């Protein structure tokens, strides 16, 4: 997971609680929002005062504002996707990003990742169909429990009864 913190390391240190051993992620620092779509990062975390000073529409992608509880409403009204109260833990931040990023699944402590229809692993990546992603998410969510065939069949790609055929005479 790739996260961008708009601010410096000192601001990050004040916002985040240290000393936990959570899932690994890549953290990048920048003093201003990235130009472009922001799709290089899974989420952008911004101190609330800094976020509120941005012009409307500047933020793109998943933006999580961070600050005291009293600033949450104003940040939501200004367009942030989520708000996290300070101090927060890195595990809490990761959980919020994963909840906002949709169909993301990490297996084997991040060794295998399914994100936005792609499977990433030590040997590269591969595109997965929506049905395959759904099936893997279903099985992962029911780890150790039986999953009915009907549930898997409901996610499977339909077998077309209509095909293109040419009658040869």
Among 100, 130, 147, the domain-final residue is: 100
> For position 51, what pLDDT does the model report?
92
In a domain, 167, yes or no: no
pLDDT tens digits for 57-111? 776 778 899 999 999 999 999 888 889 999 888 888 887 887 676 666 777 777 8
Please list, in sequence order, all residues whose beta carbon lies within 8 angstroms of the beta carbon of residue 87, skipping any fewer than 6 positions away: 14, 15, 16, 17
In a domain, 164, yes or no: no
One domain for residues 94 and 113: no
Place of tokens 């279903």: 138
Number of structural domains in the chain: 2
One domain for residues 111 and 96: no
pLDDT above 90 as % of the chain: 14
The pLDDT of residue 139 is above 90: no
Confidence of residue 39 (pLDDT cuts 50, 70, 90): low
One domain for residues 67 and 13: yes
> In angstroms, rounded to a whole number, what is the distance separating the alpha carbons of residues 98 and 75?
20
Beta strands 82-85 and 63-67 are parallel
> For position 38, what pLDDT does the model report?
52
113-121: Cβ within 8 A, 24+ apart: 115/42
Q: Give the CB-side neighbour count of residue 131, counting CA atoms within 13 A.
A: 9
One domain for residues 57 and 30: yes
> For position 71, what pLDDT does the model report?
94
State mean pLDDT over 115-143.
80
By residue range, what is the domain housing residue 10? Answer: 2-100
The pLDDT of residue 126 is above 80: yes
State mean pLDDT over 116-141.
80
| Span between the terminal Cα atoms of the chain, in Å | 58
State mean pLDDT over 22-27.
69
């Amino acid at each position: 997971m790739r996260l961008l913190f708009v601010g410096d390391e000192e601001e990050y240190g004040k916002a985040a609680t240290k000393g936990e051993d959570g899932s690994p992620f890549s953290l990048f620092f920048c003093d201003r929002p990235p130009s472009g779509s922001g799709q290089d990062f899974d989420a952008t975390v911004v101190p609330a005062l800094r976020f509120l000073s941005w012009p409307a529409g500047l933020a793109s992608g998943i933006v999580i504002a961070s600050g005291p509880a009293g600033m949450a409403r104003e940040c939501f009204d200004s367009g942030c996707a989520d708000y996290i109260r300070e101090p927060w833990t890195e595990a809490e931040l990761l959980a919020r990003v994963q909840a906002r990023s949709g169909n993301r699944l990490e297996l084997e402590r991040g060794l295998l990742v399914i994100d936005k229809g792609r499977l990433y692993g030590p040997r590269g990546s591969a595109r997965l169909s929506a049905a395959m992603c759904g099936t893997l998410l279903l099985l992962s969510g029911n780890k150790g429990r039986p999953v009915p065939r009907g549930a898997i069949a409901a996610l499977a790609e339909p077998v077309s009864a209509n095909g293109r055929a040419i009658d040869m005479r």
